[in-house]
Structure 1
Amino acid sequence: MAKPPNSPPPLLLLLLLLLLCPLLLLPLSSADDFAVMTKLASLLSPTPSGWTGTNPCTWTGITCDSTSTHVTSINLASLSLSGSLPSTLNSLSLLQTLTLQRNSLSGPLPSLSNLTSLEQIYLDSNNFTSVPTNFLSGLTNLQTLSMSDNPNLAPWTIPTELTQSSSLSVIYASNANIYGSIPDFFDSFPNLQNLRLSYNNLTGTLPSTLGGSEITNLWLNNQLHGLSGTIEVLSTMTQLSQVWLHANSFTGPVPDLSKCTNLFDLQLRDNQFTGVLPASLMGLSKLANVSLQNNKLQGPFPSFGSSVTVTLGTTNSFCRSSPGPCDPQVTALLAVAGDIGYPISLAQSWLGNDACSEWTFVTCDSRGNVTIVNFGKQRFSGTISPAFVNLTSLKSLYLNDNNLTGSIPDSLTSLPQLQLLDVSNNNLSGVVPVFPSTVKFISVGNLLLGKNITTGSGGSGGNSGSGSNSSTSGGNSNGSSVSAGLIAGVVIAVVVFVGVVSFVSYKCYVKKRHQRFGKTDGSEVGSEMVKSAVVSGVNGHVHGQGGGVPSELHSQSSGDHGEMPVFEGGNVVISIQVLRQGTLAQHLFEWRELGYSPLTWKQRVTIALDMARGVEYLHGLAQQSFIHRDLKPSNILLGDDMRAKVADFGLVKNAPDGQYSLETRLAGTFGYLAPEYAATGRVTTKVDVYAFGVVLMEIITGRKALDETVPDERSHLVTWFRRVLINKESIPKAIDETLAPDDETFDSICRVAELAGHCTAREPFQRPDMGHAVNVLGPLVEQWKPSSHEEEDSFGIDLHMSLPQALQRWQSDEGTSTMFNDQSYSGTHSSIPSKPSAFADTFDSTDCR
């Protein structure tokens, strides 16, 4: 075919096509942006004024690029708009600013992923309902994220893909239903200055990467269940100017903020802060506003400048009511508490300026000098304070069975009247000080103590500090004396062991001979429990397959094993009835009835204290490997009939024949269950503490844990009552009317309410141990007095009775049979905690088989 005349050459055609391609694509891109904007207009109600015509670049509030083909800014703030956003919003490839705050927009938020030009996002004060998983991924130029006050959002977590937005300077997401922990990613934001995450459900501790950041404005206040841990990281946030951490569960002392020279507003109220306020806080020149109420701060009364507005409240534990130094012994003990993190249990009881005025763990002589400090078995962490040396009259210092680390201060050797120092069963290390021969020094159970001591001429080996129960200043012990001591110890241990086995065997024989227990429903009702005295080894642990208990003790009866629900662990056999009786489980319904009856406040707290002691006792057994650690709240507080294994066997969740399973029973008592049980199905000590906290709330309010007869916002007792605790002024309205508290008892009720709030914290590690509950309730029972003797006796209850004894009295009055033994034996062993009053008539030395 002939070539047309005057036609361009092929090469020229190719060049023309290459030049025209970008122009051909432009209408397609603008068509995409225009389609998205048209969809947005159709979803908004009313349609924004000025949105007429087919070209969005001419609409009010819309800005486009220089070619008028791509939308770069959408500004629709405060237009009273409703409706939703199109899911294709991230097709606006050149969008830089999205401003939609203060409207009534709803529905799911669209993904904004990969909008690499996007710099500003304002979504505050709307009604959006959900956040997509890829909401903020790939926003490499994002500088401002503001989406506070969207309370209808489904729960969501802070996305870690925010680290791709390294230019962020503002993050506002308060009251946006965020849950979980704060990611430890703030080293990815070198320009971040404003972080506001208030009124969410954040939990856990402050991330370490906050330290050294450029943040000036930090709002983390009013979390639903509370952030926890210390706030020590603030000491390195030198750019801080405003800090709002109030209404959380922070603990420990207020750190030294002397480097935060721009700080003007510090809100720390409604937490659990303890310890002495640093003097440097009072010296900050720009500080103008401080709130510290509803904590347990200690030490001297703070003295701020006249230009500072300070709110202290009445719950702190300052040694005086006005500025001035504390008593020297108080100062010394507070320094001691500082080295173990100022535990809340000390702050709650160490009140006033006299250490001899009913301070827990402190004993004084008649002249008001501290002679004994007993911190044994309190699970304290930290180090041994050299400030003990300032207690010059100190004779006995018990620090045993804690989690103390570090070395033993040499200064303790100079205490002039010291006679006993017990640091056993900690994690101490380093050189062992040489104490005078008059000091009994107990250090067993510290495997690293003395490891770095070099062997010298005539000296003992480097491990001597951790291998003996006492040491003196002699320093001339040799191998022969050590061997002799070891041999003597072994001989004594063997003699004691043989004696204990003989004693238990005799008790078993007496039990068989007298046949004190019958059978019910095919199961043994007798309390079958081998005391921890029947163990092998120096440490007093039950062994799974080894010796220590004669094999006869492990033999079963001739009946069908399935007819006798027992707990078997190694050589220990415990019947289900023992756990039922020991935990008061089968009497829980009677306790529940008491919770709603018009008993006096002291009666209710007394019963709660007995229950707490009982639970604490079983937890103590579990920690001694006598009862398996999985035997927790289901049969302690919720009354479960189930099989379990003791010692080296795990929890068996199948119930005896004809009875409900564990899961079924727990489902019926959902109001008592901790949140983590729904996810894991595993019961722990902290689940137990949660259930006890619910019981305390029932005591205070007279309400059920789960009441479907009231509105939804009040039906779940824990959720409702924790909201009450946020504002202490709401507590009087929540108290059971039958209590009719006066000024004398209201403070006690508030303390129990506070304890209930801690026990029901969402995160398990935020909840205290049951021992803490005992420490809180015990003083209330002892200190509170009823208004009249008749009131105390009006229900026929002797308040000095244990709960089992009280139940026995009530059962007798009702004509029912008792389930508690009328005999008790005192045979105990050091490896098992002392029985609380609630167990005085439950576990006997003869209850073995």
Structure 2
Amino acid sequence: MESANRRNFLLPFLLLSAVLAAADDGASMLKLASSFSPPPTGWSSTTSDNYCSWSGINCDKSNRVTAINLASKSLTGSLPPDIATLSELVTVSLQRNSLSGSVPSFANLTKLQTISLDDNAFTSVSPDAFFGLTSLQTLSLSENTKLSPWTFPDLSQSTSLVQVQLDNTSLYGTLPDVFQSLSSLESIRLSYNNLSGTLPASLGGSTVKNLWINNQIVGFTGTLDVLSRIPQLSQVWVHKNMFTGQIPDLSKCVGLFDVQLRENQLTGPVPGSLINLPSLKNVSLSNNKLQGPFPKFPPSVERIVVNGTNNFCNTNGNPCDPQVTILLEIAGGFGYPVFLSDDWSGNDACQFSFVTCDSQKNVITVNLAKKGLTGTISPAFANLTKLKNLNLNDNNLTGPIPNGLTKLSSLQLIDVSNNNLTGDMPGFSSSVKFSYTGNSLLGNSNGSGGGGPPGSGGSRGGSYGNSKNSGDGKNSIALIVGIVIGVLVFVAVVCFVSYKYVMNKKYGKFGQMNGNASDAEKGPVKNGVMGKATNGYGGLPGEMQSQSSSDYSDRHFFEGGNVAISIQVLREVTDNFNEANVLGRGGFGIVYKGEMPDGTRIAVKRMECEEKGTKGMKEFQAEIAVLTKVRHRHLVALLGYCINGNERLLVYEYMPQGTLSQHLFEWREKDYAPLTWKQRVTIALDVARGVEYLHSLAQQSFIHRDLKPSNILLGDDMRAKVADFGLVKNAPDGKYSLETRLAGTFGYLAPEYAATGRVTTKVDVYAFGVVLMEIVTGRQALDVTLPDEKSHLVSWFRRVLINKENFLKMVDETISCDDEETMAMIFKVAELAGHCTAREPYQRPDMGHAVNVLGPLVEQWKPTTQVEDGNSGIDLNMSLPQFLQKWQADEGTSTMFGDFSYSEIQSSIPAKPSGFSATFSSSDGR
């Protein structure tokens, strides 16, 4: 009876609850209908009667809303917070509409499984919008490009989550380390955001199959080692980031078919674990810092993109030269640092800047002092059997000194001081000068032997451990100290006198410096160069500088560091700055060509400096200290400098084929060959890569170069190099900021720089866009000989670009464009130029995008066995707005290969960065 009474009591209560709940859903649905403008077909904004029969709405038997399916309905308006009261919701599908405002909170809707809000115009995401969704399987918010910056949501309780799609949604910050709780997760799409930091360790061992984190604005850093612990991987898109280190061992990822690693800072050889993946169909490794032999993939791999800025020793896949292979092993001990890869060029070890060879091309010197190296000293050093000098001092190296080094019969000097080395003290012969101070743990296992206590011994010769500290009293110690000091002073005097005598005999007048106090940093002569001896001991010239040798190839002309050159030397090598040696004139001085005594050709920029005094001198020298350390294959190297009164002179490597502007504008007058279209695009790509490298450095600290065509110099291989650094201190944030040196050529100034002096990387992008316009048209940025409507290249170019019928009229007449393929490429470069010169900085891409656009064009000319891209070429019958719409529509599409989906990485329309304007009009021009 009591149980029946309870049922009779509960029944009305449950019925009332159901009615109230249904009523609540009705009120919420009315709010939802009112938030749309206009409401969807069949919906009412005045009454919630029959809301379960509204189009796109599903309800359960209690009239509780379980699904809202309104994809691609051209909806506008917003989503009200009341949607969170629909507690029975399972699915919300509102993708491909124009909804705006804030993404409301769905927090604690425990039955919600799918949220699809892709391709809308939301501007913000509510805090904790996706917290507590314990049944959530799909979260998709992709392509909401107007969102304000927000961080990765808290999904720790969504343990049933299968896929997360948040690409192009303004995410920033780091990824939380929560993936160990997401045991069902298979797909992560976070491309085109501003995420940074390292990959979370919890990704290792996860069930992720598709990982898309490509094209971050700044980029993820650290290594990709965590990928080796995700065996289920089938698709990896990590391109356009800042990952470093080696390509990880992917041998356990047997289902991996699509690997996109391009546009990072990966180093070391391409591992066999990647080359031999059984399912691999698509791989891109271009524009990294990879080394070793060119990888040979099996025929089963359909698409291969490997070239770009990689530093392979060859192009045929054969083993590298034995000495190059040894140096690669040595680099492996240091973790393949990026700067060593940047120095890697070809298959000749003697071409590396940190190496000196003898006349038989044997490596005799390896100088890696003060390079910030970590890792260990590789035993492979012992395979350089002719090695005389090894400088590894002032790094952060750990581990032991390989015992094999003691068996090198030619070794004369080894300096490992100021590291963190451990292990036994090696027994070098008495003919070896061994410096090891600053390694407090080195030799501790054997006590402190003949050279003194570890870490305090400094420098010694001979084997360690043969002598003992007697401790018999102060007299013995004083006697030893006195003898040592006396011997050192005597040796120093003899070395100095011998050095001066040899230099005077060998170099004659080039070894003389006058007494002018304005000449900077008088010092020992290095093959005619006056400057500091950068590897000296106790203020004396270092071993490599002071060793007398009849073999001239023992020495490098420039060995890096702050190389000061006397004004007399520069006058001599330029024939007293003869007018006949002028290479070019610019707003910052005249550039002369010269030839040093050993035959090295140089370019000397001679500038007047208004700022005098100690402050100006210190700033100039600080700038030089930075610039001489920057090396990149697409940048002209700064070799030295001179200060003479109020003159500042910079010495660059010489590019024998002249400047880009000469080949574009002066080829008739100066008998230069006009550049082919292939050469022009290759130059543009190399410039883009060089500037992208500088921008990556600038994000870390300090530097910038300008893009005036007169400063884009051509080498023997038509490689473009960007010249003339600028450096600015005391920026508002207290760090170094970028400086643009484009004054004097108004056509290169971005609108924001011309009006307000605002300096950003987007100013460089604008200038690069002007360079592209010059490459396409063969016209200068500002030509006062033309009518006003044509004199300013940017505005005229953008007007012509809008009308495809007039497009052919602006192409340089020296370019052969008879075939459709070339025309499509020209149009693509012109289109990129239009983007780069957009009036608003946020509408311009970064230089990485320019590299992505130009890279495939250059690669198309290289002989490959790759399948031709079926989507290559551009329909010239399309209007520009139609073309841009197609670009946007193609974003993120893929094609099918069997059961696999892989990216169209070689599509003629690369992915569009966020913020681009949809169309261009004449009003955009200045």
* Alignment of 1:479 onto 2:522: no
Q: Secondary structure at the match of 2:15?
A: helix
Q: 1:718 — aligned with what?
A: 761
Query: For residues 45 and 687 of structure 1, what CA distance do their matches in structure 2 show?
Result: 45
Q: 2:39 — aligned with what?
A: 47
CA distance 1:133–1:729, change in 2 (3 Å): farther
Q: Alignment partner for residue 154 of structure 1, among 148, 173, 184?
A: 148
Q: Alignment partner for residue 34 of structure 1, among 26, 30, 39?
A: 26
Q: CA deviation at 1:252?
A: 2.4
Give the 5 Å matches for 1:241-320. Answer: 241-308=234-301, 309-320=303-314
Match for 2:428: what amino acid? F
Query: For residues 729 and 123 of structure 1, what CA distance do their matches in structure 2 show?
Result: 38
Query: For residues 495 and 123 of structure 1, what CA distance do their matches in structure 2 show?
Result: 80
Query: For residues 338 and 19 of structure 1, what CA distance do their matches in structure 2 show?
Result: 76
Q: Secondary structure at the match of 2:152?
A: coil
Q: 2:635 — aligned with what?
A: none
Q: Secondary structure at the match of 1:719?
A: helix
* Alignment of 1:614 onto 2:608: no
CA distance 1:122–1:11, change in 2 (3 Å): closer
Query: For residues 398 and 686 of structure 1, what CA distance do their matches in structure 2 show?
Result: 40
Q: What TM-score results when the alignment is normalised by the length of structure 1?
A: 0.61
Query: For residues 239 and 312 of structure 2, what CA distance do their matches in structure 1 show?
Result: 20
Q: What TM-score results when the alignment is normalised by the length of structure 2?
A: 0.56
Q: CA deviation at 1:15?
A: 7.1
Q: 1:401 — aligned with what?
A: 394
CA distance 1:490–1:719, change in 2 (3 Å): farther
- Residues 211-258 of structure 1 show CA distances to partners (whole Å, capped at 9, x for unaligned) of 222111111111112222222222222211111122222222222222
Query: For residues 478 and 129 of structure 1, what CA distance do their matches in structure 2 show?
Result: 76
Contact 1:706 1:717 in 2 (8 A): no
CA distance 1:350–1:22, change in 2 (3 Å): same
Q: CA deviation at 1:487?
A: 7.5
Query: For residues 395 and 739 of structure 1, what CA distance do their matches in structure 2 show?
Result: 56
Query: For residues 347 and 613 of structure 1, what CA distance do their matches in structure 2 show?
Result: 29
Query: For residues 265 and 778 of structure 2, what CA distance do their matches in structure 1 show?
Result: 23
* Alignment of 1:118 onto 2:118: no
- Residues 597-656 of structure 1 show CA distances to partners (whole Å, capped at 9, x for unaligned) of 997999798989x99972257789xxxxxxxxxxxxxxxxxxxxxxxxxxxxxxxxxxxx
Match for 2:20: what amino acid? L
Q: Alignment partner for residue 124 of structure 2, among 124, 130, 139?
A: 130
Give the 5 Å matches for 1:766-845. Answer: none
Contact 1:194 1:218 in 2 (8 A): yes
Query: For residues 605 and 725 of structure 1, what CA distance do their matches in structure 2 show?
Result: 23
Contact 1:156 1:178 in 2 (8 A): yes
Q: Alignment partner for residue 51 of structure 2, among 56, 63, 72?
A: 56
- Residues 98-150 of structure 1 show CA distances to partners (whole Å, capped at 9, x for unaligned) of 11111111111111111111111111111000011221111122111111100
Contact 1:599 1:739 in 2 (8 A): no
Query: For residues 43 and 485 of structure 1, what CA distance do their matches in structure 2 show?
Result: 92
Q: Secondary structure at the match of 1:45?
A: coil
CA distance 1:676–1:369, change in 2 (3 Å): closer
Query: For residues 126 and 738 of structure 1, what CA distance do their matches in structure 2 show?
Result: 40
Q: 1:410 — aligned with what?
A: 403
Q: 2:14 — aligned with what?
A: 22
Q: Secondary structure at the match of 2:330?
A: helix
Contact 1:83 1:106 in 2 (8 A): yes
Q: CA deviation at 1:38?
A: 0.9
Query: For residues 235 and 539 of structure 1, what CA distance do their matches in structure 2 show?
Result: 48
Give the 5 Å matches for 1:194-209. Answer: 194-209=187-202
- Residues 148-200 of structure 1 show CA distances to partners (whole Å, capped at 9, x for unaligned) of 100000011112x2112122111111110111122222222122111111111
Q: Secondary structure at the match of 2:12?
A: helix
Contact 1:114 1:138 in 2 (8 A): yes
Contact 2:750 2:767 in 1 (8 A): no
Contact 2:749 2:767 in 1 (8 A): no
Q: Secondary structure at the match of 2:422?
A: strand
Question: Where does the alignment leave 5 or more consecutive residues of structure 2 unmatched?
Answer: 490-516, 519-536, 540-584, 594-601, 609-616, 628-696, 703-728, 784-811, 816-926
Query: For residues 727 and 118 of structure 1, what CA distance do their matches in structure 2 show?
Result: 52
Query: For residues 359 and 494 of structure 1, what CA distance do their matches in structure 2 show?
Result: 39
Query: For residues 308 and 189 of structure 2, what CA distance do their matches in structure 1 show?
Result: 29
Contact 2:84 2:106 in 1 (8 A): yes
Match for 2:220: what amino acid? L
Match for 1:63: what amino acid? N
Contact 1:296 1:344 in 2 (8 A): yes
Q: CA deviation at 1:368?
A: 0.6
Match for 1:614: what amino acid? Q
Contact 2:749 2:763 in 1 (8 A): no
Q: CA deviation at 1:470?
A: 2.7
Match for 1:94: what amino acid? E
Contact 1:196 1:220 in 2 (8 A): yes
Query: For residues 618 and 127 of structure 2, what CA distance do their matches in structure 1 show?
Result: 46
CA distance 1:721–1:336, change in 2 (3 Å): same
Q: Secondary structure at the match of 1:310?
A: strand
Q: 1:581 — aligned with what?
A: none
Match for 1:32: what amino acid? D
Q: CA deviation at 1:676?
A: 10
* Alignment of 1:180 onto 2:170: no
Q: Secondary structure at the match of 1:29?
A: helix
Question: Where does the alignment leave 5 or more consecutive residues of structure 1 unmatched?
Answer: 1-8, 498-515, 518-537, 541-592, 621-671, 678-682, 744-849
Q: Alignment partner for residue 103 of structure 1, among 92, 97, 104?
A: 97
Give me the identity figure in percent: 47
CA distance 1:181–1:471, change in 2 (3 Å): farther
Q: CA deviation at 1:406?
A: 1.8
Match for 2:109: what amino acid? L
CA distance 1:146–1:725, change in 2 (3 Å): farther
Q: Secondary structure at the match of 2:25?
A: helix
Q: 1:166 — aligned with what?
A: 159
Query: For residues 155 and 326 of structure 1, what CA distance do their matches in structure 2 show?
Result: 47
Query: For residues 495 and 211 of structure 1, what CA distance do their matches in structure 2 show?
Result: 60
Q: CA deviation at 1:56?
A: 1.9
* Count of equivalent residues: 583
Match for 2:309: what amino acid? T
Q: CA deviation at 1:47?
A: 2.0
Q: Secondary structure at the match of 1:39?
A: helix
Match for 1:615: what amino acid? A
Query: For residues 231 and 258 of structure 1, what CA distance do their matches in structure 2 show?
Result: 14
Query: For residues 258 and 265 of structure 1, what CA distance do their matches in structure 2 show?
Result: 14
Q: 1:66 — aligned with what?
A: 61
Q: Secondary structure at the match of 1:163?
A: coil
Cα RMSD after superposing both structures: 4.7
CA distance 1:495–1:283, change in 2 (3 Å): closer
Match for 2:463: what amino acid? S
- Residues 735-767 of structure 1 show CA distances to partners (whole Å, capped at 9, x for unaligned) of 995799999xxxxxxxxxxxxxxxxxxxxxxxx
Q: 1:755 — aligned with what?
A: none
Q: Secondary structure at the match of 1:30?
A: helix
Query: For residues 676 and 422 of structure 1, what CA distance do their matches in structure 2 show?
Result: 30
Q: Secondary structure at the match of 1:301?
A: coil
Match for 1:416: what amino acid? S
CA distance 1:686–1:167, change in 2 (3 Å): farther
Q: Secondary structure at the match of 1:421?
A: strand
Contact 2:43 2:51 in 1 (8 A): yes
CA distance 1:282–1:12, change in 2 (3 Å): closer
Contact 1:454 1:462 in 2 (8 A): no
Give the 5 Å matches for 1:732-771. Answer: none
